[in-house]
Amino acid sequence: MRLVLHLNQIHRVFNEGTPDEKIALDNINLTLDKGDFVTVIGSNGAGKSTLMNIISGVMLPDHGQVELDGKDVTYMTEYNRSKMIGRVFQDPMAGTAPSMTIEENLAIAYSRNKRRSLRLGVTKKRRELFQEVLESLHLGLEDRLNAKVGMLSGGERQALSLLMATFTEPSILLLDEHTAALDPARAELITNLTQEIVDKYHLTTLMVTHNMQQALDLGNRLIMMDKGQIILEVNEEQKAKLSIEDLLNEFQRIRGTKMASDRALLS
């Protein structure tokens, strides 16, 4: 198995030296092999978002290394790292440029790992490719290439974000609660699309979610975080047998308290 992501002793403290000091990540180790689809659950403030931010380069760790595709990228800038990382955010508005058309947004995603020059962004050949990949969403967006993305619904925008993050086949896909801001029907649509797309491109994926059922349904591995630590790692075999009940009990067994997330319980 080829190693895609390797986090070595990642440590990150917020407000160091003040009364508000908070250890967001406490010497985290995590590896993802090629094709791994890991779901991450945990209560609020467990460090899930910080983990995502450190992998994507939005934040730097206090110490520890981030290796991507065998390269140390710990101090690589966010935009340089983005060549290898596909990201979908929680906010459906965050992943697309609203005043630009669907095809222009796709053109931006298309030139992710190329040097941007004075070549035309949307050529005839690329438009055909965009149409083809949009068809895989089954939302009819392929007929609306010239529609401004701001006119799309939240679900449609998130589907487009997902497509844009993935169709150039990044080394790793980071999903940060990307269905949390959608209504249940849309969330299910995006969940299914995620599965489809990850399978299609064999993407190595790390998905943060508040939805335990989603965490169990998707992916081949599961990790549970709390207070900046990974407190539970579940492999493919164990994961298949797991229920929400088991997860909650497991949390209580390890931590001695109930899991502090109403949202996790509700969903």
Q: Is 80 in the site for other proteins (CB under 8 A)?
A: yes
Q: How far apart are CA 91 and CA 114, in angstroms?
A: 26
Nearer to other proteins, 210 or 221 (CB): 210
145 is a site residue for other proteins (CB under 8 A):
no
Both structure tokens of 157 = 């925008």
Residue 113 CA: distances (Å) to CA of 16, 154, 219 = 36, 27, 26
User: What distance in Å separates the CA atoms of residue 202 and residue 36, rounded to the nearest whole number?
Assistant: 9
Distances (CA, A) of 99 to 7, 112, 123: 37, 19, 20
Nearer to other proteins, 35 or 121 (CB): 121
Which 192-251 residues touch other proteins, going by CB under 8 A?
none
CB of 188 to other proteins, least distance (A): 14
Nearer to other proteins (CB atom), residue 104 or residue 226: 104
77 touches other proteins by CB under 8 A: yes
Applying CB under 8 A, which of residues 97, 151, 240, 265 lies at the interface with other proteins? Answer: 97
Contact residues for 94 (Cβ-Cβ < 8 A; gap 6+): 161
The helix-helix angle for 102-110 and 124-135 (nearest 10°) equals 100
5 touching other proteins, by CB under 8 A: no
Region of 30-38, 130-138, 178-186, 229-237 interacting with other proteins (CB under 8 A) = 178-186
Which of 6, 22, 34, 83: binder of other proteins (CB under 8 A)? 83
Among positions 1, 17, 119, 253, the unique one binding other proteins when judged by CB under 8 A? 119
Q: Which stretch binds other proteins (CB under 8 A): 1-9, 37-45, 84-92, 189-197?
A: 84-92
* Helix, strand, or coil (residue 104): helix
Report the C-alpha gap between 146 and 209 in whole angstroms.
33
Query: Residues near 212 by Cβ (< 8 Å), separated by ≥ 6?
Result: 41, 244, 247, 264, 267
Report d(CA 37, CA 105) in Å as an integer.
Answer: 26
Shortest separation between residue 244's beta carbon and other proteins, angstroms: 17
* Chain residues that interact with other proteins, rule: CB under 8 A: 56, 77-83, 85, 87, 89, 93-100, 104-105, 107-109, 111-114, 116-122, 164-165, 180-181, 183, 263, 267
